[in-house]
């Protein structure tokens, strides 16, 4: 119970930090606006931008999925905070199309509702998972950790004067306080994700973002079995330059 309270407290702190950074960024950049009537400059005028995002999902299944011997409850939660420096690689001056290198640090990852020591899983009959439970609900593990996404690229295209659509792909690694999604897994895992989102500028230097992320976490075959977590996550954030 205390561990769950600490996770919720950490999440609230992370949200508070994000809001504080956004408030400071808006306040600091407000002096740069000479007139409210002037059009906002094109986002491509800057070669780099700071990106802060929060992605989260509740009610997702933890794999191994589809195994008759291992019914998995849809009660898992996953939250990821990302901070990165986006560097523009190419800009199409005529249409505003942009390609950027987008690595990110993940200072806070929160995972809730994965398997505990009361569930033992092994491979049997090829890729079929066999499980032995000593509890009616062996899904009580909560873990916290951090990670890094050194491989990240974003493609952005304008839809309106202040709105852009963006596609992003990234890969890296994470380290959690407990093995996920099963105890037979590892604390160290690999992460890959792809996202589609919209970016709306609210000032010459700040844009808000919102979209969906497809996230995958697994040990990449470095353990005796390779269970994974596939998550469809909602994402919000902001970009400042």
pLDDT score of 227:
78
Contacts 24+ apart (CB under 8 A), 29-34: 29/203, 29/204, 29/205, 29/206, 29/240, 30/203, 32/204, 32/205, 33/203, 33/204
CA-to-CA distance for 97 and 164, rounded, in angstroms?
Answer: 9
**pTM of the entire structure?**
0.80
- pLDDT tens, position by position, 131-169: 788 887 888 899 999 999 999 999 999 999 899 999 999
Determine the topology of domain 2-31+43-66+73-116+138-240 in CATH: Porin (2.40.160)
- pLDDT tens, position by position, 30-56: 444 443 334 445 544 458 899 999 999
Residue 234, pLDDT > 80, answer yes
Tokens of 195: 């996202």
Residue 186, pLDDT > 80, answer yes
pLDDT score of 6:
52
Contact 102, 153 (CB under 8 A): yes
Tokens of 39: 């059009």
pLDDT score of 47:
81
Give the bridge partners for 122, in sequence order.
130
pLDDT score of 128:
72
- pLDDT tens, position by position, 60-118: 666 555 555 565 666 789 999 999 999 999 998 777 889 999 999 999 999 998 888 88
């Amino acid at each position: 119970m205390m561990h769950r309270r600490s996770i919720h407290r950490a999440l609230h702190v992370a949200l508070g930090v994000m809001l504080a950074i956004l408030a400071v960024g808006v306040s600091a950049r407000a002096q740069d606006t000479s007139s409210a009537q002037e059009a906002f400059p094109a986002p491509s005028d800057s070669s780099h931008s700071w990106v802060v995002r929060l992605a989260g999902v509740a009610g997702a299944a933890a794999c191994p999925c589809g195994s008759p011997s291992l019914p998995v409850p849809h009660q898992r939660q996953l939250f990821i905070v990302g901070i990165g420096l986006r560097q523009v690689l190419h800009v199409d001056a005529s249409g505003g199309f942009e390609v950027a290198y987008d690595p990110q640090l993940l200072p806070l990852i929160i995972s809730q509702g994965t398997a505990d020591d009361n569930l033992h899983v092994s491979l049997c009959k090829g890729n079929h998972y066999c499980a032995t439970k000593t509890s009616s609900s062996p899904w009580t593990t909560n873990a916290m950790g951090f990670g890094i996404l050194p491989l990240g690229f974003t493609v952005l295209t304008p839809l309106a004067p202040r709105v852009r659509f963006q596609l992003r792909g990234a890969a890296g690694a994470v380290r959690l306080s407990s093995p996920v999604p099963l105890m037979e897994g590892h604390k160290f895992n690999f992460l890959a994700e792809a996202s589609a989102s919209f970016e709306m500028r609210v000032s010459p230097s700040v844009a808000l973002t919102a979209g969906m992320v497809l996230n995958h976490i697994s040990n990449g075959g470095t353990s005796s079995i390779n269970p994974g977590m596939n998550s469809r996550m909602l994402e919000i954030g902001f970009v400042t330059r």
